[in-house]
Amino acid sequence: MRSLWSRHAPRLDAVVRRLVADPDLAADVAQEVWIQIFRALPGFRGDARFGTWAHRIAVNATLNALRRQRRLSESSLEDEAVVVEADDEAPFVMASIEEAAARLAPGARTVFILHDVEGYTHEEIAESLGITAGGSKSQLFKARAKLRRLLAHLIEDRRGAPDTDAESHASTSV
């Protein structure tokens, strides 16, 4: 068991750290990942390489932990008043993106995060999730299309906002 951990821990822990922004939470999630791997080890059939099988467990366990964390955060936010600076839209935009990503189908969300957020190639995603590279590309296409629909209001809001400099310039040059 120790040799499996020694050989695969750096890669699996790195995946967890890339998916989880908070280092303390990432350490907790990585520990949970290894507990899940050791519990599932008797069921490992050898259909895939151990590293691939363990990577799949790590990604799924991490995404599940992030979902749990998001639900906890959302429930605590309902109890608090949230103040957003009028000039700072970044938190709103990030929250909107996270909310939209949470509404993606699990497969599409996983591929989106691994490809667009974590920088994995379609071949790496296919290997880790047990799908084809074409399946990965298809899931990413679906994820991006749905995100465009879910986030269209952000683009429309920015387009609809009056540009005071342009309006004042137009009125003075007439």
85-161: what fold? Answer: Arc Repressor Mutant, subunit A (1.10.10)
pTM for the model: 0.47
Which three-class secondary structure string do you get for 17-32?
HHHCCCHHHHHHHHHH
Fold match, 1-82 / 85-161? no
Alpha carbon distance 101, 151 (integer Å): 10
Residue 80: count of CB within 10 angstroms of its CB: 7
Average pLDDT over the chain, rounded to whole? Answer: 78
Q: Kindly indicate whether the domain formed by 1-82 is annotated with CATH number 1.10.1740.10.
A: yes
C-alpha pair distances (Å), 128 with each of 55, 56, 136, 158: 6, 5, 11, 38
Kindly report, residue by residue over 133-155, the tens digit of the pLDDT. 999 999 999 999 999 998 888 77
Domain ranges within the chain, ordered by starting residue: 1-82, 85-161
Alpha carbon distance 46, 24 (integer Å): 33
